[in-house]
């Protein structure tokens, strides 16, 4: 009588111990920031030339670039100099900006185009969602403000 009970108990233990554990696999996720390879600071002339190309879709003459580079160099606060340069460019005729209506009509396209234009990359899904929520929630945000922020961003300063 003990042997069959012991045998049944052993079979029960074997049956429960042979259950296959589930295998959980994880997708490899790159946790680095979206622009980890940008580590080379642009010169003042490069910054002005790229900013002008981003805003006007045309290049600047060598003389204008030299003058802008000298102007930025002469000002101690480089961020202030860049803010003034962006403001001056934004106030000139010929700046190519999408209208606010066009921006709000297709936010995903606007956000992707802006990232590609200023940062030379696609936005991550988190960045896209953040900008979509920001622009949707605030009717006072214009395409000019978004372009201004991108032009002044730290990532725009680096290659």
DSSP state string for 60-103? PPHHHHHHHHHHHHHSS-HHHHHHHHHHHHHHSTT-----HHHH
Percentage of the chain beyond pLDDT 70 is: 94
Do residues 73 and 89 lie in contact, with contact meaning Cβ atoms separated by under 8 Å? no
* pLDDT above 90 for 14: no
Predicted pLDDT of residue 146: 95
* pLDDT above 80 for 114: yes
| Residue 41 three-state SS | strand
pLDDT tens, 34-61? 666 788 899 999 999 999 999 999 999 9
pLDDT band at 1 (very low <50, low <70, confident <90, very high): low
15-19, 88-92, 117-121, 153-157: least confident range: 15-19
**Separation of alpha carbons 21 and 113, rounded Å:** 47
Predicted pLDDT of residue 76: 86
């Amino acid at each position: 009588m003990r042997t069959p009970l012991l045998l049944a108990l052993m079979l029960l233990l074997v049956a429960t111990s042979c259950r296959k554990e589930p295998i959980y696999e994880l997708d490899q996720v790159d946790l680095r920031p979206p622009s980890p390879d940008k580590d080379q600071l642009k010169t003042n002339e490069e910054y002005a030339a790229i900013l002008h190309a981003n805003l006007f879709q045309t290049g600047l003459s060598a003389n204008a670039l030299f003058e802008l580079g000298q102007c930025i160099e002469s000002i101690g606060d480089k961020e202030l100099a860049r803010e003034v340069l962006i403001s001056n460019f934004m106030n000139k005729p010929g700046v190519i900006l999408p209208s606010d209506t066009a921006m709000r009509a297709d936010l995903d396209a606007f956000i992707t185009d802006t990232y590609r234009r200023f940062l030379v990359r696609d936005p991550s899904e988190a960045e896209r969602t953040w900008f979509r929520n920001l622009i949707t929630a605030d009717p006072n945000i214009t395409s000019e403000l978004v372009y201004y922020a991108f032009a002044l961003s730290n990532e725009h300063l680096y290659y």
